[in-house]
Structure formats: C-alpha cells, structure tokens
Amino acid sequence: MEVERVQALSHVTLHELPAKFIRPAHEQPENSKAIEGVTVPVISLSQPHDVVVDALSKACSEWGFFLITDHGVEPSLIGRLKEVGEEFFKLPQKEKESYANDPSSGSFEGYGTKMTKNFDEKVEWIDYYFHVMHPPKKLNLDMWPKNPSSYRGVTEEYNVEIMRTTNKLFELLSEGLGLDGKVLNSSLGGDEIEFEMKINMYPPCPQPQLALGVEPHTDMSALTLLVPNDVPGLQVWKDGNWVAVNYLPNALFVHVGDQLEVLSNGKYKSVLHRSLVNKERTRMSWAVFVVPPHEAVIGPLPELIDEKNPAKYSTKTYAEYRYRKFNKIPQ
C-alpha cells in the first residue's frame, strides 16, 4: 500500500494543513501553551556519587525526565550520528521507499510514517526510521540504511556508548530505590535488554500552531535516551503544565518509560510528553528505546512491596504491557 509521507507532502509547499493533521482545539499548541520560567532538571554525572543518585532519584520521582551531561559520549560521535541520519532523509524519496516498513507484518523496522495507533484519529506530522540495535540475535541488518555507507559503523559505535550509559543509569537508579545496583538491569532482562533506534523527522509544517509532531504519550520503554537537533519542540508535562525543553548541545535527554514506573511501584514516574513542529525548519531527534524482551515478566520489584506498600501495578509480560499503553492524557 502506498503511504503518504509527511516529508513528501511538506515539499509540495502546502499552504494549508490537510484536515487529518489538525488537532482538536484543546490540543493545539496555541491553546495549550508551555508555562514560562520552569526548566527541566540537568544533572552532571561528574558530581560525587551520592549527589548524582539523589538528583536522579528526585528527577525520576518529580518529573520522569531529565538531561544528563558529562556522560562520556563524545560530542563528535553525537555529531556523526546526526549527520548519517540527516543524510538518509535527504535521499530521493524512491530510495527511502525501498526501506519502507510493513507494520501489518508485526514489525515496525524500516522507514515509516506512523508507529502506533493513536489515541484519537488524527495523524502526527512526522516520518521516522526505526530499527533494533541490540542484542545481536534480534538484528535485522537488511532493514538498516545502506546509504550513507557509514550509517552502520556510526550507529554501532553510538549503541555501545548508549548501552554503557544506560547500564550506569540503571545502577544509579537502582541505588536511588535503596536497592543493589544490579537490580534494575537484571529485572529488565540483563543481556537480553533491547536497544532500539528511532530517528524522528519532523518536516517544516505550513500551520504548526494546528499540528503536533508527536501527540501526548508516555514511552512504553524502561528508559528512552534521546538527542535532538537544535530545533526546539519537545515538551514534558509537569504538575498540570507543559514545560518546553530547551536544546542543550550534547546532553542526553532521558525519559522514564512505563516499565520503570511499574518496576519502581510508582516511585519513578513515566513522563507524558509531546513535540511541536516548526514552520521553517526540519526538527529531528534520535531516540533510543531501552526495552525488556517481550517475554520478560514485569511487575513491582518484590523488595519494594510489603504490607504498608502494596503493589500498585499488576505483574505481566512486557508483551502484554506493551499493547496497553498508559493513558496519562489530561482530560
């Protein structure tokens, strides 16, 4: 089936946004503006250990979102990751279509235009590229871009660094729950934990005040580590308001996902977030979803449960959790 790509549509120099992209009035950015003067937590990992543990734990409880700096991922590597992704999206449409995914096959790997069923019927102003990066047995290298030819090498290098950083975060976040540093990693599947790359591409939009790049959602991952380009757009929900996230070069933008909320029995909260689009510039972001394998059994960690602290979530496989997304959209 032919899919209408947002990028191709944008190139036709549209003046008016097609109806399917027009959000309900209350969702339009004009009518749900971000609050002024509030900024998200930025945490340097080079601070003393106990300071970092406390800061991360507080950010996960109060925001479900934070930026990390001094994480050790080289700025030049982040720069190369962005370059190869940008190059892919500049390829002729026909070449991109040769990587088109087929969600009806049950896999979203490849070039695509909509990843999940939305809560309403409206469509998001976004194209994406999605593929697994780890573990090796789940790789489907045929679905990785072959052009530019450096795509694979750069992405593999980035994955090594993101895995190292994620494991460090799992350790610190386990400690923040008062537990042994190994608990979160092993509860999520250890070596079987999956790392998935999603390159988000939001072309210039003729009427950005009526559209959304991604609608409000929580990630179903355990954690999502994202780097955006310098075009702003990401907003996170905090205490009844949208808060705009400013670009901070080379910081990693970390989202707590639903699986970490469940494991921590609600101490850590998955963050509701959305992204806006831009009239002149293309916004892009590179999100790595860190997810348990489908068969992993996810529930509140037994160490956190007693008579005074009953389980707030049921225990079931990730496959089951995955298809019942949390709905935190304010009514």
Contact residue for ligand OGA among 53, 59, 201, 214 (CB under 6 A):
214
Under rule CB under 6 A, residue 270 binds ligand OGA: no
Number of CB atoms found within 10 A of residue 186's CB: 13
Specify the residue, 81 or 214, whose C-beta has the smaller distance to ligand OGA.
214
CA distance 253 to 287: 9
Specify the residue, 57 or 224, whose C-beta has the smaller distance to ligand OGA.
224
The item of ligand OGA, Ni ion, none sharing an interface with residue 131, based on CB under 5 to 8 Å by kind, is: none
Question: Does the annotation mark 11 as catalytic?
Answer: no
Question: Which residue(s) pair with 284 in the sheet?
Answer: 201
Cβ of residue 274: shortest distance to Ni ion, in angstroms? 8
Which residues would be at the binding site for Ni ion (CB under 5 A)?
Answer: 219
Contact residue for ligand OGA among 198, 204, 225, 262 (CB under 6 A):
198
Under rule CB under 6 A, residue 234 binds ligand OGA: yes
Number of residues that bind ligand OGA (CB under 6 A): 11
Specify the residue, 113 or 275, whose C-beta has the smaller distance to ligand OGA.
275
CA distance 47 to 197: 29
Question: Does the annotation mark 198 as catalytic?
Answer: yes
- Which amino acid appears at position 191 of this protein? D
Q: Which stretch binds ligand OGA (CB under 6 A): 13-21, 26-34, 52-60, 226-234?
A: 226-234
Cβ of residue 256: shortest distance to ligand OGA, in angstroms? 12
The item of Ni ion, ligand OGA, none sharing an interface with residue 198, based on CB under 5 to 8 Å by kind, is: ligand OGA
CA distance 290 to 172: 16
Question: Does the annotation mark 217 as catalytic?
Answer: yes
- Catalytic site residue from 219, 255, 258, 267: 219
Cβ of residue 8: shortest distance to ligand OGA, in angstroms? 20
Question: Does the annotation mark 219 as catalytic?
Answer: yes
Q: Residues 271 to 310: which contact ligand OGA by CB under 6 A? A: 273, 275, 285, 287
> Which parts of this chain interact with ligand OGA (CB under 6 A)?
198, 200, 214, 219, 226, 228, 234, 273, 275, 285, 287
Which residue numbers are catalytic?
Answer: 198, 217, 219, 273
